[in-house]
Amino acid sequence: AEGKIVICDRFDGSTFAYQGGARAVDFDLILVMNAFAKDNLVPDLYILFDVSPEIGLNREGKNVTRFEKEELDLHRRVRRAYLSMARNDDEHWAIVDAEQPLEDVKQKVLEIFKKRKII
């Protein structure tokens, strides 16, 4: 509303993917809790940097957190949940193939920003 760009690393989509998609927490409950927590704020754009769990978990320099220690099947369920959200709401979501070279990923993000008149 103020004409500013805010970039977040994860937001409510993470809750749906990890808790709803991977851990089967009730989506309606997540909706209610998220609406309260974020005061009904809806981002203009979510960018999903899509990468297979096998590749993502093997990337160099990755800090190992409790999420990386989870079983591969959980990561697959999380990815499916993210992709489902993105494919069902192309007004707010864009998918970038993050298995491509970094320069290609950067270029795709810039294209998305320009197409959506963010820059």
pLDDT digits (tens, 9 = 90+) for 65-96: 777 777 899 999 999 999 999 999 999 999 99
Q: C-alpha angle 35/45/55, rounded to 5°?
A: 100
Assign domain 12-115 to a CATH class. Answer: alpha beta
Interval 18-35 mean pLDDT: 90
pLDDT of residue 61: 61
pLDDT of residue 62: 60
Identify which has the larger pLDDT, 67 or 113.
113
* CB 92 within 8 Å of CB 44: yes
User: Residue 58 — pLDDT band, cuts 50, 70, 90?
Assistant: confident
- Domain positions in the chain are 12-115
pLDDT of residue 46: 95
Identify which has the larger pLDDT, 1 or 46.
46
